[in-house]
Amino acid sequence: MSKINVGIIGFGTVGSGTFEILTKNTKIIRNRVGADIVVKKIADLDIESDRGVKVERDLFTTDAYELINDPEIDIIVELIGGLTKAKEFILSAIKNGKHVITANKALLAEQGREIYEAAEQCGVILGFEASVAGGIPIINALRHGLSANNIQKAMGILNGTSNYILTRMTQEGLPYNKVVQDAVKLGYAEDPPTLDVDGTDAAHKLTILISIMSGEPASFASIYKEGITDLTPDDILFATEFGYRVKMLAIIRNLGNRIEARVHPTMIPKDHILANVNEAYNAIYFEGDFVGPCLFYGLGAGRRPTGSAIVSDIMDIARQIKLGIKGLMPPLAHAGISGSRIEIMPMEKLTCAYYFRFSALDSPGVLSRIAGILGENRISIASVIQKGRKINGSVPIVMLTHKAQESDVQKAIRQLNDLDVLTSNTVLIRVEDRQ
């Protein structure tokens, strides 16, 4: 039986998970691939710490180039993260004719073009299933199972940490800061969890998804993102009263000549299948022009789920090595070059429904002044909740609008925030209804 040699660079959480699967499921993997997958070498700066898996000492090295330059190694798995060393290692491995697997979403989202092109030029396979939604085989679904479709719309819960935080805020009515402290304590979030809660991580993943769908590297910088740090239990409660859940969503809509792409807290109807994706789970909902609505759900992080994605890439590459082919398809799954750049629609052109919460003085005529400014900006009100209960001494006025344009909304909010009857800045949450 043939033997495929793998080198792992970076032996942290995902690296040790990957090693554990290859060790524990050796027989299944051999049966399915028809080859033995062997970890020949592991590079990490720290080769002393115990990662909870048993590894022969002589597998370790501190020098990544020992792997990259080893002619016997077929596949390099890059798991150190970050933008500098990781990129250098990946490009060197590609130049040495090695197939590369990476979970590095930041690198692919921000500097992917160089890596995709290098892999294509050198005729090696680039696997990055683990870079989006951890164990959920979503890249594979786009490259294969859904590939006949023009994806019209996608909405994803792509960051488990922020979903965990929102779930607890929703179910227990706790404020953001309290849940974050807990999440850090329990190991669900880093301290501070900046990239998770500010939308960066989800936007990285969304960039990769758009690139696969369109066959061209998308521009991470063009994707609007907004975090969950300003959400309050009150807003979540009002959303519930309107029949919605608040989720941190990454959203794409295919507009034909351009793509709407954005990451922000979003209200979705509480019986939407995404509304019931809770805790640290991830999910991606698609609408394809033929397949219709579909959803992929699972764990988006963690050593075992992410390791599962890495090993699935190893197995797919091993099958191709066995057949002597140089990749069934290029990294972005488009054999023909479309040639056209993907244009991401500027955020101010967005049209959607909005939730507003105004903090108002309890005095006559306030609602009329708010409604007046909204009306002047072509924003039409769908429903209003006004309750006696005060929040921080002010009366909350909460409303849902009909579809309005983001630029009008931003202008209206600037005008509203200048009103002397409003005591603090207006809270805004975008709403995604069923079409």
Residues involved in catalysis: 205
13 annotated to bind ligand: yes
At residue 344, φ and ψ (nearest 5 deg) are -90, 125
Nearer to a second copy, 261 or 274 (CB): 274
Nearer to a second copy, 307 or 396 (CB): 307
9 annotated to bind ligand: yes
81 annotated to bind ligand: no
Nearer to a second copy, 161 or 377 (CB): 161
Nearer to a second copy, 25 or 423 (CB): 25
- The CA distance from 389 to 18, in Å, is 53
Give residues in contact with a second copy (CB under 8 A): 1, 17, 20-21, 24-25, 28-35, 129, 135-137, 140-141, 144-150, 215, 271, 273, 276-277, 283, 288-299, 302, 304-305, 307-309, 311-312, 314-316, 319-320, 322-323, 325, 328-329, 333-338
How near is the Cβ of 188 to a second copy at its closest, in Å? 15
215 annotated to bind ligand: no
Nearer to a second copy, 31 or 368 (CB): 31
Nearer to a second copy, 10 or 330 (CB): 330
16 annotated to bind ligand: yes
How near is the Cβ of 191 to a second copy at its closest, in Å? 25
Nearer to a second copy, 112 or 288 (CB): 288
How near is the Cβ of 17 to a second copy at its closest, in Å? 7
Nearer to a second copy, 324 or 365 (CB): 324
How near is the Cβ of 184 to a second copy at its closest, in Å? 22
Nearest Cα neighbor of 82 from 113, 61, 103 is 103
Pairing between strand 422-431 and 351-360? antiparallel
How near is the Cβ of 59 to a second copy at its closest, in Å? 20
How near is the Cβ of 343 to a second copy at its closest, in Å? 17
SS (H, E, C) the chain: CEEEEEEEECCCHHHHHHHHHHHHCHHHHHHHHCEEEEEEEEECCCCCCCCCCCCCHHHEECCHHHHHCCCCCCEEEECCCCCCHHHHHHHHHHHCCCEEEECCHHHHHHHHHHHHHHHHHHCCCEECHHHCCCCCCHHHHHHHHCCCCCEEEEEEECCHHHHHHHHHHHHHCCCHHHHHHHHHHHCCCCCCCHHHHCCHHHHHHHHHHHHHHHCCCCCHHHCEECCCCCCCHHHHHHHHHCCEEEEEEEEEEECCCCEEEEEEEEEEECCCHHHHCCCCEEEEEEEECCCEEEEEEEECCCHHHHHHHHHHHHHHHHHHHHHCCCCCCCCCCCCCCCCCCCCECCHHHCEEEEEEEEEECCCCCHHHHHHHHHHHCCCCEEEEEECCCCECCEEEEEEEECCEEHHHHHHHHHHHHCCCCEEEEEEEEEECCCC
CB 99 within 8 A of CB 75: yes
78 annotated to bind ligand: no
How near is the Cβ of 293 to a second copy at its closest, in Å? 7
- Give the CA radius of gyration of the chain: 24
How near is the Cβ of 425 to a second copy at its closest, in Å? 36
190 annotated to bind ligand: yes
Torsion, Cα of 374, 380, 383, 388 (10° steps): 10
- The CA distance from 293 to 264, in Å, is 21
14 annotated to bind ligand: yes
- Which residues contribute to the annotated binding site? 9-16, 105, 190
- Which residues contribute to the annotated binding site for NADP(+)? 9-16
- Which residues contribute to the annotated binding site for NADPH? 105
- Which residues contribute to the annotated binding site for L-homoserine? 190
